[in-house]
Homo-oligomer: A and B are copies of this chain.
């Protein structure tokens, strides 16, 4: 057996452990009886430690050395060498991380989530502040263990978005902000009011599910390799490419929630279902740093696919021109007298609001910038946890012109910080940006693409995405993936073009002078 074959064998077992971890997580959020919560945390901790120990082992380190010699003749970006690189990186990471740090961090997250929930319910930031201080301190230690040149945030954001740095983010977000803020002002100044009362009628859940699932399958979601459940927060999780599960959340009195939630998760699922079978159970279908069985190259690239299918397709005029009659069949009384144009406008209504997860396509990014800036401050010490609520509210006024009436509707709204995720927020907006860059390239390279989309035929788009993105798993970096498929590094312009084009039409705006 070659060293590489041995490495593959070892990684296939680590990958099985990560799949089991994903199942433990899926089950906890969809099926588990309430009594199981305590022991589930222990099971997850144990399996995480098993995977981590194997990745940090001396034997693996030796194997990596042997593999590097053995594979010298292969191209640097071959599956084999990229697999070795991914394992090498994880090995170095876990050998630097002390097991006690990991264990303490895991324990802290459990407590912090509980205190965060209490703080939010009581609208009392002080109940969560001490934990958040510890999360910030631990995140600094984590950044030290990972290593960075300029800013501790580089190490953290790199966990979710390899190659991203604070400096690059600042540049990208500045350009985005320069486009978004004037566009938002033109929309709010347009005086156009969009009717959406009909979205809040009584929409029976069974029909919501049936319609959304029909669309998901039309997009290409394969139910023989997946399943749909309900959960409090929608998510996608894959055990392997052949078992990719999604959830959504139903609101009987608000149609868009379950529908767009499901289309969003379908985008994530198409990514996972589209990975090449030969990569299965390997280093390129596992996020070894985050101990997660996932084939997407980064959080941002993954999000680009959920946003693409949810927004660029699911909220487009062409989509509703094709599907609206079908939707009306499901809800004839609720949508009686509502034109397809009125419906399309309603599901694209722009309005500054308090809550990130309810925000429209434009203001969403402002919520993300706000969080990213605050995280940067927390990590470099220029912002103290105790000053966070005030800083939050000041930025809300700056960007969105509104002041949260309470911390529960402000700084306490997201679970991320209590879960130890500092550095993951920007990937949501990176996903938005990438989605347009990928989509623009797909349209350029396939002249009939827009016509097939108008006909409700999603196979050509899905195939382009599969060929260019999905099938490769984690073989390339996000930047490489963009360069290979679009010819360019990450750029904001296609996204701003898309927003300008779409919302200028929806709000009858004068074309921007820019």
Contacts and interface: CB of A to CB of B under 8 A. Distances in A.
A491 interface: no
Nearest to A43: B16
17 contacts: A12-B46, A16-B47, A20-B20, A20-B24, A20-B43, A23-B27, A33-B225, A33-B242, A33-B245, A34-B224, A35-B243, A36-B225, A36-B242, A39-B242, A39-B280, A40-B243, A43-B239
Nearest to A19: B43
| Number of identical monomers bound together in the oligomeric complex | 2
A243 B39 contact: yes
Contact of A36 (B27, B34, B239): B239
Contacts of A242: 33, 35-36, 38-39
A50 interface: yes
A27 B240 CA distance: 14
Contacts of A24: 20, 23
A394 to B, nearest CB: 45
Given A35-B224, A36-B240, 4 more contacts: A17-B46, A17-B50, A33-B226, A36-B225
Contacts of A39: 19, 239-240, 242-243, 280-281
Interface residues of A, number: 38
Nearest to A225: B35
Given A20-B20, A36-B243, A240-B39, A227 B31 contact: yes
A42 to B, nearest CB: 6
Contacts of A240: 36, 39
Contact of A227 (B16, B33, B40, B225): B33
Chain B CB count within 10 A is highest, among A16, A50, A281, for A16
Contact of A27 (B27, B35, B46): B27
Contacts of A17: 46-47, 50
Interface string A397-411: 000000000000000
Nearest to A17: B46
A243 B33 contact: yes
A202 interface: no
Contact of A33 (B19, B33, B224): B224
A5 to B, nearest CB: 16
A400 to B, nearest CB: 42
A384 interface: no
A226 B34 CA distance: 8
A162 to B, nearest CB: 26
Interface string A209-247: 000000000000011111100000000000110110100
A31 B31 contact: yes
Nearest to A16: B46
A497 interface: no
A39 B243 CA distance: 9
A32 interface: yes
A13 interface: yes
Closest 8 CB pairs of A and B: A36-B243, A35-B225, A16-B46, A35-B242, A39-B240, A16-B43, A13-B46, A20-B20
Nearest to A47: B20
A280 B35 CA distance: 13
A447 B54 CA distance: 58
A94 B205 CA distance: 52
Contacts of A20: 20, 23-24, 43, 47
A294 to B, nearest CB: 14
